[in-house]
Amino acid sequence: MKKLMSGLLLCLLSFIATAASADVTQEQQARELARAAAVAAAKADGAATRTVLQEPARSYFEWGVILSPQLQVMSVKPGSVAASMEVQVGDILVGINSERNLGSLTEVLAHLAELEHGQPLQVSLQRGDQELAVTGTVTATVVPGWRLEIDNELESELLTTENLAGCGRISIFQHPPESRELFPVSLADIDGDTSQNHRSIIKLPVGEHTIHLYEQISSTELRRSRSLKVDKPLTITIEANKQYHLAAEFFPRKRFERSSQDYWQPVVWKVTERQCDTD
């Protein structure tokens, strides 16, 4: 079971590391996923109060080629060590450093895996009727070590509290009444999260949330450049089993104040009852 837990958390934390370099929101989501998975795994393992999972730092060397069982180069990865050594598709591997009896493909891969970062690499290749020697330097990829401590009682309490609190929804689906100078809006982000912008009805946990919105005012009285459109924040305290319908309120008298964005404000134009489950 611990091997399963370790493997699961390693995959999740690897995803976190990738997300961190690409998008902060994805990192937050991945951490929450890792936390929930870790708690579930710890419960399955029967841990009493605390579980510790860890992996040491490790490194590996990827030469950058795909070899056939006959040690013929089938492809070369652009930007790899092999590419820098000018290895070509069709070359046949006949030697690595001073080793000429390479054996099977499995043995060759094992030999490459034993090479250390910064070590000189000389490879002998058969290219047509010529034997060539190409050289390079081993460049290893380092996977950082990690340690995760899980307080099962605290995490279970937090997750249970979230579930008991309930949820509500926000909606930009229903068209607001333009006769009241209310117009549609589109989502910029919810609490800094942009992952749900494509949805028109979104479930949120109870409590205070800040939603940034773009106006979609179609009035003939308003002419503005798309480049001038900016989002505005709307803070809502979500209550359980309620749906909050959002809109842009237009102020025609301020229609020329486009640069200051004073011609509109985000509003909740209607609240309806709707059952919301936290599953």
Residue type, 1: M
pLDDT score recorded for residue 12: 41
Do 27 and 122 belong to one domain?
no
Number of H helices, E strands in the chain: 5, 17
Q: What pTM was computed for the model?
A: 0.43
Model confidence pLDDT, tens digit, residues 78-101: 999 999 999 999 999 988 988 887
The upper half-sphere exposure of residue 206, i.e. CA atoms within 13 Å in the direction of its Cβ, equals: 15
Please state, in angstroms and rounded to a whole number, the distance separating the CA atoms of residues 212 and 210. 7
Closest CA to 54 of 144, 147, 143: 147
- Please say which residue of 132, 160, 188 terminates a domain: 160
Do 25 and 63 belong to one domain?
no
Closest CA to 59 of 142, 137, 119, 117: 142
In a domain, 279, yes or no: no
Closest CA to 206 of 155, 168, 262, 170: 168
Do 241 and 105 belong to one domain?
no
Token reading at 144 = 């950082």
Do 64 and 175 belong to one domain?
no
Do 76 and 114 belong to one domain?
yes
The one-character DSSP state at 179 is: G
In a domain, 111, yes or no: yes
pLDDT score recorded for residue 67: 92
Do 43 and 179 belong to one domain?
no
Structural domains counted in the chain: 3
Do 156 and 171 belong to one domain?
no
Domain that holds residue 105: 59-142
Cβ atoms of 102 and 96 within 8 Å: the answer is: yes
pLDDT score recorded for residue 208: 94
Sorted by sequence, the CB contacts under 8 Å of residue 193 that are 6+ apart come out as 25, 28, 29
pLDDT score recorded for residue 278: 54
Q: Residue-wise pLDDT tens for the chain (279 aa)?
A: 444 444 444 444 343 333 333 333 444 455 555 656 665 665 565 545 566 777 787 778 889 999 999 999 999 999 999 999 999 999 999 889 888 878 888 888 888 888 888 889 998 999 999 999 999 998 888 777 777 666 555 544 444 444 546 899 999 988 899 889 999 999 999 999 988 888 889 999 999 999 999 998 886 667 665 556 789 999 999 999 999 999 999 998 888 777 778 889 999 999 999 988 755
pLDDT score recorded for residue 112: 85
pLDDT score recorded for residue 74: 94
Cβ atoms of 96 and 135 within 8 Å: the answer is: no
pLDDT score recorded for residue 230: 85
In a domain, 278, yes or no: no
Model confidence pLDDT, tens digit, residues 168-203: 999 998 889 988 999 999 999 999 998 888 888 999
Residue 52, exposed/middle/buried by CB under 10 A (0-12, 13-18, 19+)? exposed
Please state, in angstroms and rounded to a whole number, the distance separating the CA atoms of residues 254 and 261. 9
pLDDT score recorded for residue 168: 93
In a domain, 39, yes or no: yes
In a domain, 113, yes or no: yes
